[in-house]
Amino acid sequence: MNGSLFLPSEAYALERDAADGLAHFRSEFYLPQKGIYLDGNSLGVMSVRAEQAVADVMDDWKRHGIDGWTEGERPWFYQAERLAEWMAPLVGAAADEVIVSGSTTVNLHQLAATFYQPVGKRTKILADELTFPSDLYALQSQLRLRGYDPDEHLVLVKSRDGRFLDEADIISSMTEEIALIVLPTVLYRSGQLLDIPLLTAEAHKRGIPIGFDGCHSVGVIPHRFQEWDVDFAYWCSYKYLNGGPGSVAALYVNRRHLGRMPGLAGWFGSDKEKQFDLGPVFTPASTAGAYQIGTPHILSMAPLLGALPMFAEAGIEAIREKSLQLTAYLMALLEAELAGYGFVIGNPREDERRGGHVSLEHPEAARICKALKANGVIPDFRAPHVIRLAPVPLYTSFHDVWSAVRRLKQIMEERSYEQFENRRGVIA
């Protein structure tokens, strides 16, 4: 949708909803009765199917006990692989290149331990200064474990403006000293979508393996990791995938690397035919399942059994199209209704550069977020001055977007945000 061709009326929003091919999914989610949930890029809301899936897995445990590992409709022994079959199309991979396992940071540790192989003068890891800090903590840890000083061996690409990264700057940092590159698909603050195929091709020209953190893109943006020859990727499932708080993450390893010994071996990465031989020597699976470490968190996986099939039904391309329409509409309304109130849209405008959320900057962002919550709009705050607004396609309507902007305008007109402190809470 071209943002210049919208009408700032409620009737227009309702008209868009009436024509929305994904609108019927909204009824499958538990949404605030009088609220507007725009924080799905931090934690997606619960679906009816996810709730039922948890109940079903609990029932399996109750009825089967230990035999739940191999009996029932959803044997736990194969649950990670079953979920990988649903997950793989979202990232453009084959099912055996994906495994649902661990957490985002644990999976990064696994992949860095596997793909970071310093040799000669190639000892450094390339990342960026705008990435989510947990990724940096993990990479610093991996360097220390190899005996390297992170201050010298973790190279961070600088941002020119504090919002975005320039691919040219990333490419120019791919020197002969770089042994591994780890970047986000989408920057968590500004929502910038990086040019993944370009960066992958440039890394490979220089003989450098490259991987991506897909936490802020998987489930809202289609990827083609296999086609682009990305070496590895990892992502969470509690944001756009609606897997619930702390739900199990996932990783991808390109087929040409399958069979490679994992950097961190654990018994659930074993060849399943040999796992219960319990031999003293690790025999890895021939699939991405080799990169599992411990026993799967069956109860934390359960919501995904209900949530992921909806993505197959909706289609990730249709999800992306609606996401772009919603964010374009949101930006257009913000500019039309809130001019003069000091807001700056801090995310890319171009469809091909924009992730799934709008990054709204304001000096009073923390207290404005609190006022929004008090008025039934759930946003997300990121220091020092960013209000993230994520209209998630499966459950956010155009009318939600229209109503949220109306409430924000009223807050600014009445200056009701001034009753709150301009600092974040313990959890932002």
Local confidence band at 426 (pLDDT 50, 70, 90 cut-offs): low
- The residue range of the domain holding 335 is 3-30+316-419
Side by side, which strands form the sheet with 380-382? Answer: 344-345, 358-361, 386-389, 380-382
pLDDT in tens, 293-352: 999 999 999 999 999 999 999 999 999 999 999 999 999 999 999 999 999 999 999 999
Q: For the domain that residue 192 is a member of, what is the CATH number?
A: 3.40.640.10
One domain, residues 282 and 340 = no
Measured distance CA(328)–CA(313) in Å, rounded: 24
One domain, residues 350 and 300 = no
Q: The tokens 């924000």 sit on which residue?
A: 408
**Which pLDDT belongs to residue 33?**
85
- Which tokens in the block code for residue 294? 């411990």
Q: What is the rounded radius of gyration, in angstroms, for the C-alpha atoms of the chain?
A: 22
pLDDT at 18 over 90: yes
**Which pLDDT belongs to residue 428?**
64
Asked whether residue 199 is domain-assigned, the answer is yes
pLDDT in tens, 375-399: 999 999 999 999 999 999 999 999 9
One domain, residues 379 and 246 = no
Asked whether residue 296 is domain-assigned, the answer is yes
Give the Å distances, CA to CA, from 241 to 37, 197, 330. Answer: 15, 23, 22
* Cβ atoms 94, 84 nearer than 8 A: no
Q: The tokens 């661990």 sit on which residue?
A: 102
pLDDT in tens, 20-75: 999 999 999 999 888 999 999 999 999 999 999 999 999 999 999 999 999 988 99
pLDDT in tens, 262-287: 999 999 999 999 988 889 999 999 99
Annotate 152-191 with DSSP letters as a single string.
HHEEEEPPSSSS---HHHHHHT--TTEEEEEEESB-TTT-
pLDDT in tens, 168-216: 999 999 999 999 999 999 999 999 999 999 999 999 999 999 999 999 9
One domain, residues 96 and 157 = yes
Question: Which distant-in-sequence residues (6+ apart) come within 8 Å of 9 by Cβ?
Answer: none
Rounded percentage of the chain residues whose pLDDT exceeds 70: 98
One domain, residues 259 and 360 = no
pLDDT in tens, 118-162: 999 999 999 999 999 999 999 999 999 999 999 999 999 999 999
3-state SS assignment for residue 393: coil
Measured distance CA(246)–CA(236) in Å, rounded: 9
**Which pLDDT belongs to residue 423?**
80
Which of the listed residues 313, 342, 358 is the one where a domain comes to its end? 313
**Which pLDDT belongs to residue 3?**
44
Asked whether residue 277 is domain-assigned, the answer is yes
Which of the listed residues 250, 284, 313 is the one where a domain comes to its end? 313
Side by side, which strands form the sheet with 178-184? Answer: 98-100, 250-253, 232-235, 210-213, 178-184, 124-128, 154-157
One domain, residues 173 and 236 = yes
Asked whether residue 88 is domain-assigned, the answer is yes
Instruction: Look over the chain and give the mean of its residue pLDDT values, rounded to a whole number.
Output: 96
Asked whether residue 46 is domain-assigned, the answer is no
Q: Which of 15-24, 115-124, 417-426 has the lowest mean pLDDT?
A: 417-426
One domain, residues 268 and 388 = no
SS3 content of the chain, % helix, strand, coil (to 5): 45, 15, 40
pLDDT at 424 over 80: no
pLDDT at 234 over 90: yes
pLDDT at 223 over 50: yes
**Which pLDDT belongs to residue 427?**
65
Measured distance CA(106)–CA(373) in Å, rounded: 32
What is the number of structural domains in the chain? 2
**Which pLDDT belongs to residue 293?**
96
Which of the listed residues 313, 330, 358 is the one where a domain comes to its end? 313
| Residue list for the binding site for pyridoxal 5'-phosphate | 104-105, 132-135, 213, 216, 238, 267, 295
One domain, residues 370 and 324 = yes
One domain, residues 231 and 342 = no
One domain, residues 77 and 163 = yes
**Which pLDDT belongs to residue 1?**
41
One domain, residues 193 and 275 = yes
**Which pLDDT belongs to residue 278?**
87
Question: Full-prediction pTM beyond 0.85?
Answer: yes
Strand duo 154-157 + 344-345: pairing: unpaired
One domain, residues 346 and 221 = no
| Residue list for the binding site | 104-105, 132-135, 213, 216, 238, 267, 295
Asked whether residue 35 is domain-assigned, the answer is no
Asked whether residue 42 is domain-assigned, the answer is no
**Which pLDDT belongs to residue 2?**
43
